[in-house]
Amino acid sequence: MMQHLRTSAMIAAFVLGYLCPWASALNGLIRWLIVIMMFLVFLQVRVSWRTLRLGHLNILLANIGIGMGSWFLCRIFGSSELAMAAFFTGITPTATAAAVIVHLLGGRVEYAVSAFLTTNLGMALLLPFLIPVAIGNPAPTVFADVIRSLLVVIGIPLAAAVPIRLFCKKATELPKKLKNFSFFLWVGAIFLIIANASAFLHGQSHLPKTVLLEIAAISLAICAFNFWFGQFLGGKKFRRESSQVLGQKNTTLTIYLALANANPLVALGPTFYVLWHNGWNTWQLHRYGRRRHLREIRLKQAQRMNPPQERETND
């Protein structure tokens, strides 16, 4: 029953978000929904530099390579605006909510949190140098904007969770009890993200459909490659986690950066990516929930077929 409810909620978030572009006025709530979700994640996960691995550096390097490589290819075979759209799509660091999705998928949350910190801090240092290469304009405020974003979505929940973990040991059990609550917070965030994308696309209705299709196609190609290549980088041990942190992007950041340093057309790259990576997340969560449901059914059937034998007691 819960699995069907989750699937229906995810589909409803997409449909209602598209049909309610006016909800983009509530866009500021997305950040705080993520803050609450990250607070629950940090209650359960101990953040430490010891969790950093070589794989996190590989993800950062892949992030840079995919962003610059997409820009270079589109600049050769397409227009400069398509190249910039590809750049802002591919260069986007890991999303805050990636750790939440990894948690919902039963993966190693510590790996996802470390990847988030690595890619976002790495991009905070590199974007002021990479953006001028891609668009030919200086971006002096990028570093401060990225750091400010990190302090809100990471600093606030981490600062709140650490003392609670220290003084209330039972609080670490809270995320498991509120797993469904975290999921529906994520559904609410998806609704607002899609509503924001819908409002943006409606505002660009004057653009030729061919341009929109080209940007949508390159964004989809980058998304598919990210999730696939992430599995390759993660190997057998971190296949799921690596795929998620390379594929799920902090598009809010690069949409803002594209609008601030380029133009709304370029911002459509990461805007379309919102649809693609959240669509894949929806399918993953549906598939994971279905598999868990089927395993539970098989386990119950096995228990009925092979009931535990009662011990014979001697009087």
Give tens-digit pLDDT for 94-150: 987 788 888 888 888 888 888 888 888 888 788 888 888 888 765 566 667 667 766
**Residue 12 above 80 pLDDT?**
yes
pLDDT at position 50, please?
Answer: 64
How many Å apart are CA 178 and CA 69, to the nearest integer? Answer: 41
Contact 115, 56 (CB under 8 A): yes
DSSP 3-state percent helix, strand, coil across the chain (nearest 5): 85, 0, 15
Tens digits of per-residue pLDDT, 199-228? 877 877 777 778 889 999 999 999 999 999
Angle at 183 between CA 178 and CA 185, to 5 degrees: 95
CB 51 within 8 A of CB 113: yes
The yes-or-no verdict on residue 304 having pLDDT over 80 is no
89 in Cβ contact with 253 (< 8 Å): no
pLDDT at 234 over 50: yes
- Sequence letter at residue 69: G
DSSP string, 228-241: HHHHHHHTTTSHHH
Q: Quote the CA–CA distance of 81 and 114 in Å, as a whole number.
A: 33
Split at pLDDT 50, 70, 90, the class of 315 is very low
Residue 309 gets the label, from left (phi > 0), alpha (psi -120 to 50) or beta, of: beta
CATH number for the domain running over 2-16+28-295: 1.20.1530.20
Contacts of residue 260, defined as CB under 8 A and 6 or more positions apart, other chains included, come to 139, 141
